[in-house]
Structure 1
């Protein structure tokens, strides 16, 4: 994870950022500095150096690049949706996700995956909560690309590991490394520069 997570986050920012710049989006001096700082923050926040960490396999790196590319393409497609489409792009996304999820659950059920009623109830509640949070995040993302530049929104979206790290520190009492703390500070500085540009 310490290697693959930053690769995914970085690629998910670079794909739509590149697309936005190709389409003519331009940043001022502060925004350009903020963009570079944000990309650096993506890597620093997601990178957790461990002495016992294993090297990523070529297959793992390829999957991380593929995942980042597809997240980036999702951002590009959401940005391309007409402004008057409302939440229809997100509804289409959720419909496809639900179909794939129910197909996977159905396959597992047919294969006789072990389950208990209590675990299924907890899993359903957790899935509903995660779905509500994910839906809210995607609605905010859609609002972001409709009111701002894809270049800026894609880089800020790629800072998602920062929220995970802060929550893990507050809720799970996990320790934030000095490198991650520096990345978090860099992320906030970058977000401020991108906001005022």
Structure 2
């Protein structure tokens, strides 16, 4: 616990990232509670609209930290990656929570289980990978902008240096996701649901 407190004290951007993740789920919980428990749809919508503002705070905090003389490190790459995945997957995560909240508290339909085979499974894998591609593009774009502002130097090496910079690592992860996701499902033999013998 002491080490965590020291880490947050010594690197405020880590505290911002942790706070952003907590705030993401808190605003979702508050928004859905207002919508379904208090029956205040406008209040619920206003609280859910605050979720993207968390990303803006993260971006501003990252730029301020670098402009105030902070050296780019793993934390800034993590912040850019968080922003990319938050923008790309945030809406679907809110929708995921909304369906379950509505089912639990407002008599909504039960959540639909993801498909395990067939064309729908292929379609889902492509959709998720395309979201990952969007997250990659946003994260790399943010890091590219930071490199353009501060130059390709020792300060920004953590973003672009091969093979351990953030951009190369994210590219490798995206490639692996493609192989084990849509490509694997596309090339796998089609499966049919098991039928029980009578």
Instruction: Work out whether the TM-score is over 0.5.
Output: no
| TM-score relative to the length of structure 1 | 0.30
| TM-score relative to the length of structure 2 | 0.30
Bigger RCO (CA 8 Å, 6+ sep): 1
